[in-house]
Amino acid sequence: MNISSVVIQCQPDRYDAVKAWCEESGVCEFHFGDKERGKIVVTIEAADVNEEIGSLMAIQQADHVISAEMMMTYQEDLDDAIKELKESPDVPDLLQRVTEEEIDPATVVYHGDLKKKL
C-alpha cells in the first residue's frame, strides 16, 4: 500500500467547490485547508504506484484545480526492498571491504546492464 500527501492549489473563490470534490470523489481524503490562500491538503491511499499516480492525475484534472503536487509518500514495497538489501550478505560485505580500504574502489568493475533492469 502507498500513502501520499498532496497539496492542492486553487483560487480562494473556488475553494468550496474543490473541497467538496475532494470529499465526494473517493479519490482522496480531505484533511486541512486554508480558504483564504486556496490551499488544500489531502491524502491518497493506493495499492501501488500506478494507482497512486492515477489518483494524483485525477486530482490535477479536477475542475478549478490550479495545481496538485505530491509532497510526501510512503511505499511499503520500497521498505521491503531496502530491508532485503540490508539483509543481503553480498553487497554490504563488498561495500564494507571497500570502506575499510581492503579493496581499492578503482579496481571494482561493474558487469551489469541497467538497461535490462528498467
pLDDT the model gives residue 69: 96
Percent of the chain with pLDDT over 70: 73
- Provide the domain limits for residue 65: 2-74
What does the chain come to in residues? Answer: 118
Give one word for 42, left, alpha or beta, with left for phi > 0 and alpha for psi -120 to 50.
Answer: beta
Strand partners, 114: none
| Angstrom distance (rounded) from CA 83 to CA 118 | 21
Q: Is residue 117 part of a domain?
A: no
Residue 37 is classified by DSSP as: T
Q: What pTM was estimated for this model as a whole? A: 0.66
pLDDT the model gives residue 96: 63
Q: Is residue 118 part of a domain?
A: no
pLDDT (mean) for 65-69: 96
**Are both 39 and 86 inside the same structural domain?**
no
| Angstrom distance (rounded) from CA 118 to CA 113 | 10
Residue with cell 500500500: 1
| Angstrom distance (rounded) from CA 71 to CA 90 | 34
Q: For 75-112, what is each residue's pLDDT tens digit?
A: 877 777 677 767 766 555 666 666 666 777 677 666 66
Q: Give the pLDDT band (50/70/90) at residue 73.
A: confident
| Angstrom distance (rounded) from CA 80 to CA 46 | 17
CATH of the domain at 65: 3.30.70.920
**Are both 81 and 103 inside the same structural domain?**
yes
pLDDT (mean) for 42-56: 92
**Are both 67 and 92 inside the same structural domain?**
no
